Copies of this chain bind each other. A is one copy, B any other.
Amino acid sequence: MPKESDELTRLAADVRVAAFRLTRRLRIESDIDDLTDTQMTVVMRLGHAGPATLGQLAEFERVSAPSMNRTVNALAAKGLVRRTSDPSDGRRVIMELTDAGSALASTARARRSAWLTAAIEPLTPDDRAALARAAALIERMLAP
């Protein structure tokens, strides 16, 4: 009979591997020409979490401010992101998606969902419940 800690370690490894593989696959599904991974990540972040300052984006993506500035410049040049100044603090610049940027985020989201929805569709109600529960558990783990 395996030790309790062995089971834990095994489960952690299984969850980790599943998350990495699924993420990789979903990223492939949502691949969009003319946008690098970095740029796509920022578009998805703005689409999901709404407008953000340059510093917030840099911190979340864990890149330097100059690096994020460059990425935002590229997205702005493509007409996907718009800069507006914060009325309450002149130092701050708010980044938000343009209509084209929102549309692109929606398209990418739809592609990802399409693949995953098709994969989930044939599952039994019990299986689906397990997935739902696991997703909720992970969200709880990640919560501050």
Hey, which bits of chain A sit against chain B, CB under 8 A? Answer: 8-9, 11-23, 25-26, 28, 62, 109, 112-113, 116-117, 119-121, 123, 127-128, 130-139, 141-142
Contacts and interface: CB of A to CB of B under 8 A. Distances in A.
Identical subunits present: 2
Contact of A26 (B8, B20, B62): B20
Contact of A8 (B8, B112, B121): B121
B128 A130 contact: no
A108 B61 CA distance: 20
A139 B131 CA distance: 12
A134 B18 contact: yes
A28 B60 CA distance: 11
